[in-house]
Amino acid sequence: MSNKLTYQITKGIIKENPVLRLVLGTCPTLAITTAASNAIGMGVAATIVLICSNAVISMLRKFIPDKVRIPAYITIIAGFVSIVQMLVKAFAPELNSTLGIYLPLIVVNCIILGRAEMFASKNKVLPSVLDGLGMGIGFTAALLCMSIIRELFGNGTIFSIPILSNFIDPILIFILPPGGFFVFGILVAIANKLSDNKDNSQKNSCAGCPRGKSCSIVSDKEGTCNV
């Protein structure tokens, strides 16, 4: 039993990493990873929202009628995001100014709605909380990994501590938008290379996405498969 619970945490970090394996939450991953400190702030904020919303949705899973499931989840998630937003504004104003619009946009981060729909609505409270924790850690780890690469090459620092800037000129493009796409692409390629069964990740990607169902309607019509 305890093994199973540990699995709920660890699966999110490597095997089902939300960013690199399930390819969810790409927008904040690309946007705020210009500095390692931003990644920590974003990761922690999203993790708190993820744990709380998973817990509440799991608690209410028997009361919420199927028809209004999605609006109910969105309201709960938006509530927690607003609370986190107010706390950040009050106690960490610098984080608020660096994350800017991406802080309220945690609402539409597919990781959170995806976990609510795929996991919390079908499982008991404790596994749901652990699932949220694991996914949150996985999200933070991926953000951190990406931001360290981008900050190191693009600015010559890590956590604002000079590392490379004394030896070489920083390669600016890494902290500009194109660098975000490029580093993310390389990281996904590495994650694919390291994992044994590549096809499995493609399936996971659609199953983990809250829009998977409508997406497949589109792809049926046009005969394309998404991502």
Compute how many residues bind other proteins; rule: CB under 8 A: 72
Q: Which of 209, 208, 218 is nearest to 11 (CA)?
A: 208
Q: Which of 14, 40, 55, 105 binds other proteins (CB under 8 A)?
A: 105
Asked if residues 134 and 9 have their Cβ atoms less than 8 Å apart, the reply is yes
Q: Which of 5, 6, 59, 89 binds other proteins (CB under 8 A)?
A: 89
Q: Which of 159, 177, 203, 207 binds other proteins (CB under 8 A)?
A: 177
> Which is closer to other proteins, CB of 10 or CB of 205?
205
26 binds other proteins (CB under 8 A): yes
Part of the chain binding other proteins (CB under 8 A), chosen from 38-46, 126-134, 140-148, 186-194: 186-194
Token pair of 136 as six digits: 């949150």
The full length of the chain comes to 227
159 binds other proteins (CB under 8 A): no
> Which is closer to other proteins, CB of 15 or CB of 170?
170
Give me the least distance between CB of 4 and other proteins, in Å please. Answer: 30
> Which is closer to other proteins, CB of 5 or CB of 186?
186
Give me the least distance between CB of 6 and other proteins, in Å please. Answer: 29
Q: Which of 192, 200, 203, 207 binds other proteins (CB under 8 A)?
A: 192
Q: Which of 3, 166, 197, 224 binds other proteins (CB under 8 A)?
A: 224
